Amino acid sequence: MGVGGGIAAYKICDVISTQVKAGWQVSAILSETASQFITPLTLSTLCRRSVLTDADFWHPQAPRPLHIELAETATLMLIAPLTANTLAKLVLGLADNLLTSTVLASQMPILVAPAMNTTMWEQPTVQAHWQQLQQQPRYHSLPPAYGHLACDTVGVGRMAQTQEIIAYLDSLAYTHGKRDLAGKHLLITAGGTREYWDAVRFIGNPATGKMGIALARAALHRGAKVTLIHGAIAEPIPAQVRAIEAMSGEAMFKAVLEVWPEADWLVMAAAVGDVRPAQQWSGKLPKSALPTALPLSPVPDILQAAAQMRRPHQRLIGFAAQTGDVVAPAQEKLKRKGLDLIVANAVDQADCGFGTTENAAVVLDCQGRSRHLAKVPKLILAHQIFDIVQEWLP
């Protein structure tokens, strides 16, 4: 981990702490200016090992050059906050300190997360360097976000959120930096739909959108263009994802069919309700006026409509949340809706399904193949699903 000289350096403490607790071995390189914002003692305590500085780089008693040792033993690198100065050095291939020398001596994937004043970020030279860095395959990026900066400016320049940095690191550890979805447009749905029958009451389900957003993150990290159409969710959406809110089944139906013609894959992870109230009331009904029976009508079938519109290169991936036997109902849904592949998961098992951080699944395709995926974090499960899609549906 390379820490640049900026006020956002303090945010790196959460990243290091989280990854160390997850079993990662983290070595931190503190640039000369970064030590003005955060101390080596703080980072070494979190890393459980000594923090490296330029003073270590030039130490004459090292058995091997330090930058070579680091470059050969690390799996991947994070540089955050990435300053305008270090950005320029990376683009030009300069190596005048331990951090940039380690970069040049390695071939590992590198995730960069810039942070700086808005005016600095918008300078033509900085933007040109940023675009040049994107063209080098080993660099993966989390661009700065809009917000209130430490200098009291309001604009683009905030470093990406810790959750997004950690998720991207987890993806890189799984994929080793491959971008095998580059050039593809994935349309993904997430969250639960709500069918209101008055201003405050609705028919819904416990879906939180965690699986759909994990799929969006995984696709984004593998190079895809991602459109996420979502209902009710409890997770932040990555800034690089095009997000469209669709809270009802009808709204999601319209949004999906509008975007589907321009997409390559449709991954239908949303928990769309099957029925909606046949009548809706404006305002909130008083308790005394609540109906004793609520007539229902069917919600439009999104996957069936998408299957009828599909072109030869397009792929349809569905999800089936089930209790009890998950395989038989999923196989029936796969055939009935004309899907290429379906992901079945049990929502009646402990720590799986709605609202959990982990999930397990059975993946089935129209050729009769199946694969059981053991319980893992939902981001890793998303990557495993994409691996199977590309293996079974070339």
Task: Give me the numbers of helices (H) and strands (E) for the chain, helices first please.
Answer: 14, 19
- Please list the active-site residues: 151
Look up residue 2 and give its two tokens: 């390379």
Is 284 annotated to bind ligand? yes
Contact (CB, 8 A) for 54 and 29: no
Q: Is 302 annotated as a binding residue?
A: yes
- Signed CA dihedral, 58, 61, 66, 68: sign only: positive
Task: State which amino acid sits at residue 165.
Answer: I
The answer to whether the annotation marks 11 as part of a ligand binding site is no
Q: Which runs of E-coded beta strand occur in 50-162?
A: 77-82, 110-114, 139-141, 145-148, 154-158
Would the annotation count 301 as a binding residue?
Answer: yes
Q: Rounded distance, CA 127 to CA 138, Å?
A: 19
Residues with Cβ within 8 Å of 320's Cβ and at least 6 positions away in sequence, in order, are 326, 329, 330, 333, 342, 343, 344, 345
Asked if residue 271 lies in contact with residue 207, where contact means CB atoms within 8 angstroms, the answer is yes
37 is an annotated ligand-binding site residue: no
Q: Which amino acid is at 353?
A: G
The beta-carbon contacts of 17-25 under 8 Å, at least 24 apart in sequence, are: 17/46, 18/162, 18/166, 19/166, 19/169, 20/46, 20/47, 20/48
Give the tokens for residue 387: 């691996």
Report whether 337 belongs to an annotated binding site: yes
Q: Report which secondary-structure segment, H or E, holds 87.
A: helix 84-92
- The annotation status of 152 as a binding-site residue, yes or no, is no
C-alpha span between 330 and 326 (Å, rounded)? 6
Give the residue numbers of the binding site for CTP. Answer: 274, 284, 300-303, 319, 333, 337
Give the residue numbers of the binding site. Answer: 274, 284, 300-303, 319, 333, 337
